[in-house]
Structure 1
Amino acid sequence: MKIFIMRHGEAEHFAQSDAQRELTKNGRRASAAVAHACAEKGFSQFDKVLVSPYIRAQQTWQEVANYLSSQQVETCDDITPYGDSEHVAEYVSALIDLHNYQSILLVSHLPLVGYLTAEFVADIHPPMFPTSGLTCIEYSPEKRSGEIVFNMQP
C-alpha cells in the first residue's frame, strides 16, 4: 500500500494566526503542478485523504483536488505543524488495518511531514520538505515499515 505525504504550498508570511495563513499564488500553482505530475505517474485516486484544518493546507487540497481525488476526505486536527507523529502514524496504521486501504494522502506541515515520514520509513532522519513537496512511501502494514518510492517538488 502507498502513503503519500504532502506539505502545503507556499503561504503568506503573516496573518492573524498561523492557522489563518493563506496560500500565495505561487503556492497554488506549485501545489497544482506537483499534483498534476503525481497524476501523470498514475497516482490520482486515493482511498482516504487527511487534511490539516489550517487554511493553507485546506487551500492546498483544493488546488490538488483538480488532479487527485478521493471519496473520503477528512479534516484531521492531529496533523497540524506540531502534531504528534507517533500518534498520527498509529491512527493511519489503524485506518489501513480496519479498511484495507491501498492509498492514503496526508496534506500537512513542517515539521510534522518530516517526522511522519520517519515514522513510516525505518532508520531515516526526518527529511525536510519544500513547500508543495510530496513523498510516496511503499508501506507494509504487516511489517509496520516502508520505503520511499519517490519524491516530487515543484
Structure 2
Amino acid sequence: MNNVRLSKTLLSAGTLALVAATTAMPLVAKAETGIVRHAEGDFPISTSIEVPAGASTIYLSGMGAPVQDKTAPPKSLEAYGDTQTQTLASLQRIEAELKKLNLTMGDVVQMHIYMVADPRTKQLDFAGMMKAYTQYFGTAKQPNLPVRSAFAVAQLANPGWLIEIEVTAVRAPKK
C-alpha cells in the first residue's frame, strides 16, 4: 500500500515537473489543428510537439533519393548525387507520398535522417543536408518545424545512398 502511495506521489511530482518544463518553453505555433510546436534558439527544428487527442499518426518508410543520372553505374554515388542533391530528392519523394495521403510537409511532426559519410571526403555533409532541408522547413511558405534527429550510420541498404529519411506525419482530428 505504501508503495502505491509513493508511486502516485512520484508520478504527480514528475508530471508537475514536466508541465513546468514544457510551459517554460517558447511556443512556436499552435495551428488551427491543435498541434503545438515548441522551439528554443534559431536551429530549424522543434524541440517538442504536442499532438491533440483524436489525431491520426502516419508513419512513412525511410526514403532515399531516386537515381539522378541514369547514365552512371547503378547503385553508385554518381547515380544518386551528393548529400544535398540526395536530401532534396528524398524530400521531394516524401512530399509526393504525403500528397497522395492529402497531407503536406507542414503535417510532418518527426523526422529521422540517416547519413553516411561521403566516401570521397570521409565526412558527413551535414551542411549539404541542411541546405536541402531548409528549402522545406522553416520557410515563410512552410514554417512548421518537425522534431528531428540526424544519425551517422556505417552504411545504408543502397550503396549509392548517402542519406535516407523517414518521417511521421499527423492528420489533425476533424472538428
Same fold (TM over 0.5): no
Indicate the TM-score class for this superposition, using the shorter chain for normalisation: 0.3 to 0.5
TM-score of the superposed pair, with normalisation by structure 1: 0.32
**Structure index of larger Rg:** 2
